[in-house]
Structure 1
Amino acid sequence: MLKVRLGCSRIPYLCRYLYTRPILNSGHNKWSTIKHDKMKNDSQKNFLSNKYSNQITIAVKLKDPQLQTLLDKAAKNNVPKKVIENAIKKGQGISLNGNGANMTMNLYEGVGPQGCSVIIESMTDNKNRTVALVRGQFNKFGYNMTSNGSCLHYFDKVGVVRVSRDIPDDTTTEGERIIEPLSEEEVMDKVIEIDGIIDVKRAPSSTGENEGDDESVNINLITEPADTNKIALKVRELGYSIESTGIEYMPKEENIISIECAETQESYKKFVNGLETLDDVVKVYTNAQLS
């Protein structure tokens, strides 16, 4: 017979702990909505500021008679006064660091892998500083900086007017509005009557290396150097937005050097990227073709 001793039975002791924790919402609260709207507004402001800054700089360089109209539109769209002033200084070639020094354009030349030629275009208020930075980049990768004039004969000096579609001011970012890329045929049909244009071709995209990259929304008009500004003004009258104008160095087809080694390509890309990240460097030209 089973005997149970009640006095010795153990009853579990139940304990309830009282604690609190913050309630996690799904993120659709008032603060989240305000933050989202603010980011959207900031994005729109930055887009307009960059757009007008670029256009004002180009207008100053071109001595565009429509400059004052552009300044009025920028002010109407609440572009900061400092942005407008810096854009004007940039167009005039004046240093933005406050020392009042004029910026000068300089070219540097060098030889890269497999004997390819490199031309570096810079805008600086301190030539000695820029030379040291450029030479340091050549030395870092084991390439040679050469004397001026040693590489120029491998390139053609041309004017380049980069155009794109004119984007309305109410567009926030390109990501929120589909912008149909321009085609060479479309632009050519409109500019064919303009004298001085040598060629029309798609501009390289920010990520692509080839001129035919379909992702680019810009078209380059290749011109005679002396006609660049005149053509830019005429093209703008056709309803296009001028992204940039300038005198550039295009490698001659017979002097293009193909680099096929993957390791050499990677090293050369890092070399060029390093040059392009220097504050004083405007553009890097090369006759190397990375296949």
Structure 2
Amino acid sequence: MAGHSKWHNIRHKKAKMDAKRGQMFTKIIREITVAARQGGGDPEFNPRLRIAIEKAKKANMPVENIERAIKRGTGELEGVSYEEVVYEGYGPEGVAIIVECLTDNRNRTTGEVRHIFTKHGGNLGSSGCVSFLFEEKGVILVPKDKYDEETVFEKAIEAGAEDVVTDDEEFYEIRTEPKELYTVKEALEKEGLEIEKAELTRIPTTTVEIKDEETATKLMKLLDALEDNDDVQKVYSNFEMSQQLMEKVS
């Protein structure tokens, strides 16, 4: 689980430095469109849309882009129709991988995802082959340099969170039931806590330990290639490796 968390934090930092704004905007716009289509265009009554809009604002997306994406989702504007597709497979050493996509062409996306798995030493599996190894949770990140552990834990539990994980160097990871994510987030913000990120995620219940650099490099290239695909929204994996090895191959 630690490896999973560290990998996502490294990717988060890289995204800031690389500033792949075009690709980032594409993914966020798709999420806003689908969220509006499924739950309506009013963020007050659509938690998924609220989270997507917040992500867009953090990425400095122009307001007009956000509004157009919402209108495409609600049908007020014409646009491409996206569907949610989830792929499951294995990386090197049998590492479990789940890939969440939003696509306007399932056949194209399936071919591209399968090619990425094969090219980097993995293989695409059938639906359900690894999803049982993950739990769906809400995760809220709070910066460690601003609050002590006792304060965060107390406020999180009072707000309705399940647990607070402190493994990461930079952030407290507050975990919630998926349906409670936005309720807990709002309660924490009312208590004055700064929220770095809030999202629905999949947390591995068991991990595969990676010890050698060659295997780690293959795995990181596979995960990076999946995340760099335009149709891919999120990638989850159940690997674990040391911080030293993680930094070598990231």
For Structure 1 versus Structure 2, the TM-score category normalised by the shorter chain is: 0.5 to 0.7
Residue 219 of structure 1 aligns to a residue whose secondary structure is: strand
Give deviations 1:81-124, integer Å, cap 9, x for gaps. x71132345578849xx961243332110011221210112223
Confirm whether residue 237 of structure 1 aligns to residue 216 of structure 2: no
CA distance in 2, matches of 1:116, 1:251: 11
The one of 108, 113, 122 aligned to 1:143: 122
**Mapped pair 1:131 → 2:101:** no
Whole-Å Cα distance in 2 between the matches of residues 250 and 118 of structure 1? 11
TM-score, with length taken from structure 2: 0.65
Percent identity between the two aligned chains: 29
- TM-score, normalised with respect to structure 1: 0.57
Q: Using the alignment, how far apart are the partners of 2:152 and 2:67 within structure 1?
A: 29
Pairing of 1:18-37 with structure 2 (within 5 A)? none
Choose from 219, 231, 240 the match for 2:172: 219
Indicate whether 1:260 and 2:243 are aligned: no
One of 191, 201, 206 as aligned partner of 2:165: 201
- Aligned partners of 1:149 and 1:257: how far apart in 2? 18
Look at both structures and tell me which one has the larger radius of gyration over its CA atoms: 1
Match of 1:117? Answer: 96
Deviation at 1:156, TM superposition (A): 1.2
Q: Which ranges in structure 2 are unaligned for 5 or more consecutive residues?
A: 1-20, 36-41, 243-250
Q: 1:115, 1:137 → 2: CA distance?
A: 16
Instruction: State the one-letter code of the partner of 1:109.
Output: E
Distance 1:100 1:230 in 2: 31
Q: How does 1:32-181 map to 2 (within 5 A)?
A: 60=43, 63=46, 83-88=62-67, 94=73, 100-164=79-143, 180-181=145-146
Give 1:61 shift: 7.9
Give the 3-state SS of the residue equivalent to 1:158 in structure 2: strand
Q: Which amino acid aligns with 2:111?
A: A
Distance 2:203 2:186 in 1: 23
Q: Is the 8 A contact 1:93 1:103 kept in 2?
A: no
Task: Give the letter aligned to residue 151 of structure 1.
Answer: V
How far 1:157 sits from its partner (Å)? 1.5
Opposite residue 198 of structure 1, the aligned amino acid is: E
CA distance in 2, matches of 1:243, 1:274: 25
Q: Distance in 2 between matches of 1:221 and 1:250?
A: 12
Query: Given the alignment, which residue of 231, 234, 237 partners 1:280?
Result: 231
Long gaps (5+) in structure 1: 1-45, 75-79, 166-179, 203-210
- 8 A contact 2:156–2:174 mirrored in 1: no
Residues 19-57 of structure 1: CA distance to partner in whole angstroms, max 9, x if unpaired?
xxxxxxxxxxxxxxxxxxxxxxxxxxx9xxx9xx99xx7
Amino acid corresponding to residue 222 of structure 2 in structure 1: F
Q: Distance in 2 between matches of 1:241 and 1:89?
A: 29
Question: Which of these residues, 224, 228, 238, is aligned with residue 181 of structure 2?
Answer: 228
C-alpha separation between the residues in 2 aligned to 1:233 and 1:163? 13
Shift of 1:275: 0.9
- In structure 2, the CA distance between the partners of 1:109 and 1:182, relative to structure 1 (3 Å rule), is farther
Q: Give, in whole Å, the separation in 1 of the partners of 2:108 and 2:141.
A: 30
User: Are the aligned partners of 1:164 and 1:240 in contact in 2 as well (CA < 8 Å)?
Assistant: no
Provide, for residues 126-160 of structure 1, a one-character-per-residue CA deviation record: whole Å limited to 9, x for no partner: 32332222111101113110111110111111122
Specify the SS of the correspondent of 1:268: helix
CA distance in 1: counterparts of 2:124 and 2:130, whole angstroms: 11
SS of the residue corresponding to residue 193 of structure 1 reads helix
Partners of 2:159 and 2:63 in 1: how far apart? 31
1:276 partner amino acid: E
CA RMSD of aligned residues (A): 3.7
Change (3 A) 1:133 1:184: farther
